[in-house]
Structure 1
């Protein structure tokens, strides 16, 4: 722990001394004595899209046998805007067996994750990803992460134009170090650091913490744009993209018991034209680079920089950096932040089919042949695939002539899409057994809990009302639980904090309702609240709005209120 408030935290020195993200990763890869890499290189490897993990289910048993933990690595492949080709999908599918644990995971940020990659397979896996014109650099670490984009907008005619802006932001903010290709793709070794490597945007120490960007097309808010450090909200006039509202200062992560940490929704800063997008993105990142807190990792996200200094300060800083102010923001409205399932026709006459994928896990098991079905579809599909921010998959740009064939394959492999509205809106992080931060289950447990919640909704005759439920194994917020109508955040094994009151369009945080409760507590509370909701909800009133009107929680206006249990005055 850093005891000197003016002293940068240790990771800042690790970054500065890493020789532009090299560290000693290359030599560590050749160390066959251990399945792990050193602590310093673990920090640097995150910038290359890698997290070192171990199987926590086996920790005690291996310790008894005097064995080191069963180390493996998670590799995350960036997919800007969530679009990939059928060829890329087939390659990812092949890698899942060749190098990983036989599953593909679609993340809450429209990226791919592999789990269970052992150290000797790190380099071949990353090389294979790059062969498919994807990469893992900046998928993790203190840099801009995968840039998200609305996956299936109602105004499909302009989706590709907006997607191109998201891709351009991603390309522009990708670290320039040659270390990535040198280590993973057998690039030519750098001979002169000063001559070859230079980070014009990030500098030698990169950002104080991770940075997240999303681009969205109203009325959908499927990317939860206000949960991001920087957001671009497309403004459409007369079916043309005229620019973007710019939002700043959102973020989800907190720490249990630390009131100085809290989630925040972004503020609207102003409006920019399409040709200003890269200028806004670059200079916002530079402001965070120069003013973000490098002495306290828990206070280092951009949301705290904005909250501490104020929106007017940031507006002035950006104006000075750009040499011109942003224009006044335009009026926008969000109506929805989930995915729209099944077949939907595009304006060009083609079709998109959105598939529900429980918590983003694509695999074959005794109950499910989803991975095989998608492999078969990828072999005939002539359009593209879109990973959604809700961990689902869109089979996009399907011609009329191919619809029946895709339906037949889904039927052949018994891919059941008849799931409840609440299950469609559910989302969970990976959590146990691999995530080192997890305090409780999430991905493995949420489907079972949803079964019981579905039963309660049926009991009270409210199954026709989808309720957004999100669960994480810790308070870092990877599944954005603090926006959900019902959020569960892991506190310990089998115990969760329960939050209520998010808005279904993603524009309001929820508030702590009960702390450190078990499944039986959860179900008892929801049974009572659902009974009340069924009897007293007004027409079309969402569950999140109802629990505020009924005074179970209050309407949160600032993240500091999220962890305060509402008490009637």
Structure 2
């Protein structure tokens, strides 16, 4: 149940929950002095890690404390402490940065991290393997590029997604601009970030103010993370229905007329906890461009005041929307705004563009979308992706953009440079033709093991083998050219949005996964649990009979997800001897 009744909640600090109420994290936030806590003291200590309470606070600063779980048993046997390390995430609204900002991250990854860069499923960047003593110089180096890690994690609005394709019209440019405006408007105002990581120096940033106040969040911030995405009409490359607030642009010719808002989406769930579940956002209202910021801020304040602050597994806004209803939520927003919201327009999303390959921009220049397996930019023997990107970006100075599918776009390329640039990429083993990427083109995985503390099973390290095995029946059935989205996560929290798309693989425990099927191409429908606790080695064996049925009985142009949804999982189970069925 959500906390309290509506007439009992007037603000968002623990005083209004009653003595002793609220989760431990809520008390940590309230007592943190706007995200300071004991971070300066513990950062200055010689310890290799932060204490339990401070681990919660560093998230707001864009940092996760992790360990190398591969080394756990060996270090335990040697009676040494865990192999602590940190992940630092840069917040990049709309996934758009300059060549110089990308190159800076490349330098930082080599100097302070494990030498790789990871594009996130929310269009940000992550650096892994940073030691505690290197956190401050790493974050200061990011800040010097006029980017920030503040609010990339924590109980605040996270990175705002937007369709990253270079502008083909003024309206498309405004979609990217509104993502940046929302991110800046909802950024925490605490000066703790600059005091701790930048020695109090106020480098140009909209989040640094002279007053120590959080006008939107208050002293305990939000009950849980909050996610926003902005979609261009027809293209759901930001998975708009998985967001707490999704904005779908409304066009009047080539002009931006406004947005249709959808609210209450979220992917996270917990195995065995029926009160938790993935949920798609509902249509909410239409807004004019100039109204968007205020309406979104007001939605945030309703979640701030009514989100569950006792049970963090039940704290996302989707549960408020589900349990209290759209009508109740709209009434709360309208009362705070002082006017009636317009009814939502129908939303039409027909596809998920991955933006790979060559595309011409409105100004006559070109952009090139390159596939990045699981978003991990690194050099391996057959593919020198990190070196190749550094070479190209250093030489041509293109714009750089990241997609919600963890790929990279190089923009503003002159026609005269295309042939040489492509040859240069090929010399590093980098494929520029998306049709040659194979079934992995629409596959994603979260990092999971060995660094994520929530990981129950492999994901990023396991998916390449799974996809390689899946290629065999796809080729044999003549389906190897078909779009097939496969999303794998090491736990049910859903970072790679596995409950969307054709196939979802969700880790239950070591080498065991739940298999979901039946999402749709535009990612506007949840898929359905088909089989539980399938061993890694049996995943393709479990899917192959379904692929055969799809080949034999599909309707013209019918996707795998649409086929499974049309037939239904119960009938599919009856027709296929599934190794393990849900109880």
TM-score in same-fold range (> 0.5): yes
Mapped to 2, the partners of 1:308 and 1:281 lie a distance apart of: 20
Mapped to 1, the partners of 2:88 and 2:108 lie a distance apart of: 11
Residues 1:139 and 2:152 aligned together: yes
Shift of 1:154: 8.3
Mapped to 1, the partners of 2:540 and 2:267 lie a distance apart of: 25
Partner of 2:90: 77
Partner of 1:282: 297
Structure 1 contact 219–336 (Cα < 8 Å) conserved: yes
User: What SS is found at the alignment partner of 1:180?
Assistant: helix
Shift of 1:151: 1.4
Counterparts in 2 of 1:413 and 1:303: CA distance versus 1, 3 Å:
same
Q: Summarize the alignment of residues 119-518 of structure 1 with structure 2, pairs less than 5 Å apart.
A: 119-152=132-165, 155-187=168-200, 196-417=211-432, 419-518=436-535
Counterparts in 2 of 1:459 and 1:153: CA distance versus 1, 3 Å:
farther
Mapped to 2, the partners of 1:441 and 1:566 lie a distance apart of: 21
Structure 2 contact 466–539 (Cα < 8 Å) conserved: no
Mapped to 1, the partners of 2:327 and 2:320 lie a distance apart of: 12
CA offsets, 1:333-377, max 9 Å, x none?
A: 111124031101122211111000000000012222101111111
Shift of 1:534: 0.7
Structure 1 contact 207–289 (Cα < 8 Å) conserved: yes
Structure 1 contact 156–346 (Cα < 8 Å) conserved: no
Counterparts in 2 of 1:304 and 1:273: CA distance versus 1, 3 Å:
same
Structure 1 contact 512–553 (Cα < 8 Å) conserved: no
Shift of 1:383: 3.6
Shift of 1:69: 0.4
Number of equivalenced pairs? 551
Mapped to 2, the partners of 1:234 and 1:188 lie a distance apart of: 38
Residue 547 of structure 1 is aligned with which of 561, 564, 569? Answer: 564
* RMSD of Structure 2 on Structure 1 (CA): 2.0
User: What SS is found at the alignment partner of 1:203?
Assistant: coil
Partner of 2:22: 8
Residues 1:526 and 2:540 aligned together: no
Mapped to 2, the partners of 1:17 and 1:309 lie a distance apart of: 30
Farther off after superposition, 210-219 or 544-553: 544-553
Mapped to 2, the partners of 1:176 and 1:161 lie a distance apart of: 25
Mapped to 1, the partners of 2:210 and 2:102 lie a distance apart of: 38
Residue 38 of structure 2 is aligned with which of 1, 24, 36? Answer: 24
Mapped to 2, the partners of 1:305 and 1:504 lie a distance apart of: 28
Shift of 1:330: 2.2
Mapped to 2, the partners of 1:241 and 1:420 lie a distance apart of: 35
User: What SS is found at the alignment partner of 1:21?
Assistant: coil
Counterparts in 2 of 1:429 and 1:461: CA distance versus 1, 3 Å:
same
Q: Unpaired runs of 5+ in structure 2?
A: 5-16, 203-208, 573-579
Shift of 1:565: 7.0
User: What SS is found at the alignment partner of 2:235?
Assistant: coil
Q: Unpaired runs of 5+ in structure 1?
A: 556-563
Shift of 1:388: 0.4
TM-score (ref. length: structure 2)? 0.92
Mapped to 2, the partners of 1:156 and 1:188 lie a distance apart of: 38
Mapped to 1, the partners of 2:233 and 2:370 lie a distance apart of: 21
Counterparts in 2 of 1:10 and 1:359: CA distance versus 1, 3 Å:
same
CA offsets, 1:85-120, max 9 Å, x none?
A: 001111010001000000000000000000000000
Partner of 1:54: 67
Farther off after superposition, 195-204 or 19-28: 195-204
Partner of 1:560: none
Farther off after superposition, 458-467 or 200-209: 458-467
Structure 1 residue ranges (4+ consecutive) displaced by more than 4 angstroms after TM superposition: 153-157, 564-567
TM-score (ref. length: structure 1)? 0.94
Shift of 1:181: 0.3
